[in-house]
Amino acid sequence: MKADWEALMKKYEASETVLVGDVDCTASGSSLCDEKGVEGFPTIKFGSPDDLDDYDGGRDSTSLIKFASTLKAMCGLNNIHLCDAERKAQITQMQAMSEAELTGFIETVDAEVLKVTAKYEQITNDLEAKMELAEAESKEKVQEIQQKGFNFAKVIRFDKFGIKYEKKSEDEEEGEEEGEGGEEDEGENGKEGKGEL
């Protein structure tokens, strides 16, 4: 993707209205990436520098350049006239705040975000623990079942009859069960047909 991004930067390097850049989130740009909510690499964001949105389109140069060509000036501190009533009110409210009020607001939002993030991280961890437990129990049950001579049977069948063991998938087993059921139904219908004759 590096070459595709460089192609996009080159196309807009002389633009007076569009800025395309990159930030090294692992070095000097780590604080900026944290501020903008970057969690994985590479991450592409677009919009006003003070209110960026995530880009989830194609990452080849053609897709990137096509998307960039559709961008227009957006709501932001430098383009308040483009904001809707709700965002204008937010900006007006923030601009009237003191340093202490702004700091308090930012810290409150950060605390709420951390609380929500921690909650869902715990849910994820619990699910992962349950999956690991289920996997261990499944493995144990399979080994218990197979210890009833299963491996001996496979080897003996191959030695005596030349039939190589191939593990069936769940889809194949379900297909066989459905096929067996269909044959029974057909047989019953056949008997009923003969009875009517």
Could you report the per-residue pLDDT of 84-125, keeping only the tens digit for each? 899 899 999 999 999 999 999 999 999 998 999 999 999 999
Around Cβ 38, how many Cβ atoms within 10 Å? 19
Does residue 151 belong to any structural domain of this protein?
Answer: yes
* 49, 74: one domain: yes
* 37, 57: one domain: yes
Tokens 């595709």 — which residue? 4
* 9, 87: one domain: yes
Does residue 125 belong to any structural domain of this protein?
Answer: yes
pTM of the model: 0.46
* 6, 89: one domain: yes
Give the mean pLDDT of 36-59.
Answer: 83
* 13, 90: one domain: yes
- Say what the pLDDT of residue 192 is: 42
Does residue 42 belong to any structural domain of this protein?
Answer: yes
pLDDT at 39 over 70: yes
pLDDT tens for 167-183 read: 877 766 666 555 555 44
Least confident of 65-74, 101-110, 156-165: 65-74
The 3-state DSSP class for residue 46 equals: strand
CA-CA distance, 87 to 79, in Å (whole number)?
11
**By residue range, what is the domain housing residue 139?**
98-155
Does residue 162 belong to any structural domain of this protein?
Answer: no
- Say what the pLDDT of residue 90 is: 92
Give the per-residue SS3 of 98-127. CHHHHHHHHHHHHHHHHHHHHHHHHHHHHH
Does residue 45 belong to any structural domain of this protein?
Answer: yes
* 89, 108: one domain: no
Q: How many domains does the chain have?
A: 3
Does residue 160 belong to any structural domain of this protein?
Answer: no
Highest mean pLDDT among 28-32, 72-76, 84-88, 166-170: 84-88
* 17, 90: one domain: yes
